[in-house]
Amino acid sequence: MKQILLILSLLSLGFCLQNPLFLNETYSTGLVQISNTSDIFYFHFESRANPSQDPLVFWLSGGPGCSSELGLFLENGPFTVNDNQTLSNNPYSWNNQANLVFIDQPVGTGFSNAETEDLVTSETALGQNFYTFIKGFLDQNPQYIGRPLFITGESYAGKYIPAITVELLKRKDRQINLQGVAIGNGQVDPKTMYPAYGEYALKNNLISSFKYRTMVNPTLKECSELIQKNAPLQQISQTCNLGFGYITGFGETPKFNVYDIRKQCLGSLCYNMTNLDNFLAREDVKSALGVSGRNWEECSTRVHKALQNDIFVGYSSYVAQILESGIKVLIYSGDQDFICNYIGGLTWVSEMQWTKQTEFQSAQFEDYIVNGKSAGQIKSAGILQFLRVYQAGHQVPMDQPEVALAILNQFIANTTSKDQTIM
């Protein structure tokens, strides 16, 4: 019996493998127990450069309740899924110079399990669960204890990441060497970002100036005021959704792809993800991932519903706390995204109260150069950077993979240079 327990214990460690199914990329997967009936799944890739020395980067997708495999296979992971269910290599994967981990959280997301009573209903609970996850991950992967750690993500992770980071700051755990956080097209501060929907739509000719003045702007202004007053959730939702709908329409499918205004909306998430759905439903794939018997879904309705009271809560004050603690912060936004657009992002960053607020407000934008070409505009103050990425939607690594890799490498290399070269 003792021998069986020892074998099971060893199997729980994150041993790295290579598998032709995953193009012989060096990887490991694991499940970290959060409670008796819940766990968090992760998919870890060793750095393609120097795994024993390169930093550790966590990636979190948003939702709330959307799996980080969406990021892995569609954005910044080592491969993408082809029509014939094979994989293609991504030369711009974020594990080129970092050890990269995609995490299905909160519990109940993606391949992670959770009973109804386990589902988180606040960012506080989410942060506490994530601390438990990190400790379990380090137990399974002790080579990363004390390694420089960067937490990255997009969309609703704009709330996850500040809450998680503040929890880590409270813990003061010496095993966790957090160096920076990066948020892409993040939903951080709804009261500031909702009015920006109208401004962005007007600027990009999605609505007429008459509609903006008479319908959109007044409604979204009221939405912001209700959020600020902490009005009942139903009242906030009705007003904010009305203002939003004046722009996107009120049908099941919006008039345009809210994640990339240049494209048509196809499917529930505006993109065709059939290849990924089919690939992650295969028994041989699930066996290789160590999740046989589990079913993967793009986004969990249960997880989303459990966090409904968090939808209109702002976390810019958490970001300010992170900056004041000395943890550097990068906020980047693709300029073709509507749902978490760069105008709203720049507004909440500018209005955030912290030591260098005035310095940030007065800072000028400069060109962000990648391989000799302007890929965006960047401004900074101290350890805070805001970057607008040209010709990218909500998923910057999907639309501008070369630029996204340059952004990550600059961030983890602890340099403020605005001229990046991809090797």
Question: Hey, which residues are catalytic here?
Answer: 155, 337, 394
d(CA 151, CA 363): 26
CB atoms within 10 A of CB 417: 10
Helices (H), 313-386: 316-324, 342-351, 357-362
Burial of 225 (C-beta count, 10 Å sphere; 0-12/13-18/19+): middle
- H or E segment to which residue 419 belongs: strand 419-420
Instruction: Answer whether 169's CB lies under 8 Å from 325's CB.
Output: yes
d(CA 335, CA 345): 10
Helices (H), 217-355: 217-228, 233-248, 274-281, 283-289, 301-306, 316-324, 342-351
d(CA 162, CA 159): 6
Q: CA distances (Å), 70 to each of 304, 389, 398, in order?
A: 16, 20, 10
Task: Indicate the Cα dihedral angle 269, 275, 277, 282, nearest 10°.
Answer: 180
Q: Which value, in Å, is the radius of gyration of the alpha carbons in the chain?
A: 21
Crossing angle for the helix pair 190-203 and 342-351, nearest 10 degrees? 140
Supply 363's token pair.
Answer: 């800072």
